[in-house]
Amino acid sequence: MTDAAPDPLMAETPLGPQVEGPAAAPPKGGAAAAILRFLVQRIVPALITLWLISIVVFASTHVLGINVALRVLGRQATPEQLAEFNKSHGLDKAVYEQYGVWLWDFVRGDWGTSAVSDRAITGIVVPRLEYTMILAIAAIVIALPLAIAFGIYLARPGSRARELALSISNVSVAAIPVFVIGIVLIYVFSVKLGWTPTDSSGLAFGSWTDKVAAFILPTVTLVITLMPHISRLTQVSVRETMTTPYARAAVLRGLSRRTITYRHLMPNAAGPIVNVVALDLIWLIGGVIIVENVFGFPGLGTLLVQSIAAGDLLVVQAVAMVSGVLFIGIGVAADILVTVFNPRLRNG
């Protein structure tokens, strides 16, 4: 061994700038440029994702050898009707032209009419959008602090038995299908105990207490599904910071566990957590679609599945696009909020 690996404990000065020193000097160009760069870093990837979703939506509903006119007008349509539908919807033009027109119509809010209910799609989507938004945001606002607190708790090294029990339960909960969690909750709290309504139909017809009650079980289900991943990630991230030289230094200086955890470990562990939370919010779309269908919650997820089953393609397109915009928007917003509250991340 000629070139011995540097001792990790000696590699950095324990009381280096990452502990309490001033933050790294901001990049050149002033505050405005920094804010701009920050926004670009977060918004451009989100726009690329949205653009890709639009291509998948357009391709799978317009291009992949499916006769849209036949699907929308039904089997009884005459050839003249089909030709006229194709002409009026621009389906006789080149594919890229069709895509452009379609995307522009969507951006302008011209989403067409439902083949099933013959109503303007905007009128069907917008009220459901509000409910879905409230559900998703309620789930995030409750799940995030809970999951992070639980992750910090998990990160404390304990006995082997405690470690094993906690990790087995975390991994197991992560593998329970969302719809099973929802149905078990319905069985226990609605059927057996009678505390909550068995479905969320009260949202459409009931009084305001019924409306609030309609949110309880769907929100709880989403919180349970969001917990394992975020808490596991917090655990790993906090534990990684526990092995760093400045954590050792803090222990040696005799600081309390509470001070070390919240002043020294959490700010440094936050970066990876935030990145994954943004990704989890994209996964949350899936959770919301499932939960809405389990509880008959009148949101975008139920509309999407019903429209797919009914072959109402224009509604499918609109709901998929709106869901994409909504959840990626929530992801970017959460990302920006967390960064604003945690100055350490701004230059990272």
End-to-end CA distance of the chain: 36
Indicate whether 43 belongs to the interface with another protein (CB under 8 A).
no
Contact range with another protein by CB under 8 A, out of 89-97, 117-125, 151-159, 204-212? 151-159
Binding mask 242-271 for another protein (x = CB under 8 A): xx---xx--x-----x--xx----------
In contact, 152 and 234? CB cutoff 8 Å: yes
Nearest approach in angstroms of CB 65 to another protein is 9
Indicate whether 137 belongs to the interface with another protein (CB under 8 A).
no
User: How many chain residues are in contact with another protein, going by CB under 8 A?
Assistant: 63
Nearer to another protein, 34 or 189 (CB): 189
Indicate whether 275 belongs to the interface with another protein (CB under 8 A).
no
Contact range with another protein by CB under 8 A, out of 98-106, 114-122, 137-145, 232-240? 232-240
CA dihedral of 65, 71, 72, 75, whole degrees rounded to 10: 130
Nearer to another protein, 151 or 324 (CB): 324
Nearest approach in angstroms of CB 260 to another protein is 6
Nearer to another protein, 99 or 283 (CB): 283
Q: Is 51 left (phi over 0), alpha (psi -120 to 50) or beta?
A: alpha
Indicate whether 48 belongs to the interface with another protein (CB under 8 A).
yes
Question: Under 8 Å CB-to-CB from 295, ≥6 apart: which residues?
Answer: 182, 186, 199, 200, 214, 217, 218, 221
Nearer to another protein, 33 or 176 (CB): 176
Question: What part of residues 283-312 is at the interface with another protein (CB under 8 A)?
Answer: 283, 285-286, 289-290, 293, 304-305, 307-309
> In this chain, which of 33, 35, 40, 174 binds another protein, going by CB under 8 A?
174
Structure tokens at 243: 């092995």
Tracing tokens 């050149």 back to the chain, one arrives at: 28
Q: Calculate ∠ Cα 49-53-55, nearest 5°.
A: 115
Q: What is the DSSP string of 100-136?
A: HHHHHHHHHT---B-TTT-SBHHHHHHHHHHHHHHHH
Q: Which residues share a beta bridge with 113?
A: 120
b/e per residue 222-260 (b: at least 16 CB within 10 A): bbbbbbbbbbbbbbbbbbebbebbbbebbeeeeeeeeeb
Question: Under 8 Å CB-to-CB from 172, ≥6 apart: which residues?
Answer: none
Indicate whether 98 belongs to the interface with another protein (CB under 8 A).
no
> Which spans of this chain sit near another protein (rule: CB under 8 A)?
45, 48-49, 52-53, 56-57, 60-61, 64, 66, 155-157, 163-164, 167-168, 171-172, 174-180, 183-184, 186-187, 191, 236, 239-240, 242-243, 247-248, 251, 257, 260-261, 279, 282-283, 285-286, 289-290, 293, 304-305, 307-309, 313, 316-317, 320, 323-324, 327
